Amino acid sequence: MRSGSGPRFVSSEELRSADLMAECISALENRLAQGWDLTEPARSIHRVGGGQLLLMPAWDDAHLVVKINTLRPDGWTSGEPRVQGVFVIFDLPGMAPVMVVDAAALTALRTPAVSAVATKYLARQDASRLVVFGTGPQAVGHIEAMRHVRNVSSVGIVSRTAESAERLAAQLRASGVDAGSVTAEAVAEADLVCTCTTSRTPVFDGSLLSDGVHINAVGSHEPTLRELDDATFVGATVAVDSLEMALREAGDVVMALKSGALPDAANLMSLAALVRSDASTAGTQRTIFNRTLSKRTLSNRTIFKSVGTAGQDLVTGELLLKLLDGGSRRAGPPGLRRPEPPGSGPPDSRPPGSGPHGPARYR
Mean pLDDT of 246-261: 95
Whether residue 286 has pLDDT greater than 50? no
Q: Are residues 141 and 230 in the same domain?
A: yes
pLDDT grade for 326, boundaries at 50, 70 and 90: low
Q: Are residues 130 and 230 in the same domain?
A: yes
Per the structure, how many domains does the chain have? 2
* Structural domain contains residue 2: no
The predicted-structure confidence for 55-92, as pLDDT tens digits, reads as follows 999 999 999 999 999 988 876 766 777 789 999 999 99
Q: Are residues 252 and 280 in the same domain?
A: yes
* Structural domain contains residue 357: no
Spatial separation of the C-alpha atoms in residues 363 and 361, rounded to whole Å: 6
Q: Are residues 260 and 163 in the same domain?
A: yes
Domain region containing 193: 110-305
Spatial separation of the C-alpha atoms in residues 201 and 106, rounded to whole Å: 26
Q: Are residues 133 and 25 in the same domain?
A: no
Q: What's residue 6's pLDDT?
A: 86
CATH number, domain of 170, equals 3.40.50.720
Q: Are residues 54 and 182 in the same domain?
A: no
pLDDT grade for 325, boundaries at 50, 70 and 90: low
Q: What's residue 357's pLDDT?
A: 36
Q: Are residues 153 and 223 in the same domain?
A: yes
Q: What's residue 198's pLDDT?
A: 87
The predicted-structure confidence for 143-197, as pLDDT tens digits, reads as follows 999 999 999 999 999 999 999 999 999 999 999 999 999 999 999 999 999 999 9
Q: Are residues 101 and 173 in the same domain?
A: no
Q: Are residues 233 and 264 in the same domain?
A: yes
The alpha-helical segments, DSSP class H, found in the chain are 12-17, 21-33, 103-122, 137-149, 162-174, 230-233, 243-249, 251-259, 271-276, 279-282, 285-294, 310-323
Whether residue 283 has pLDDT greater than 90? no
Look at the pTM and tell me if it is higher than 0.75.
yes
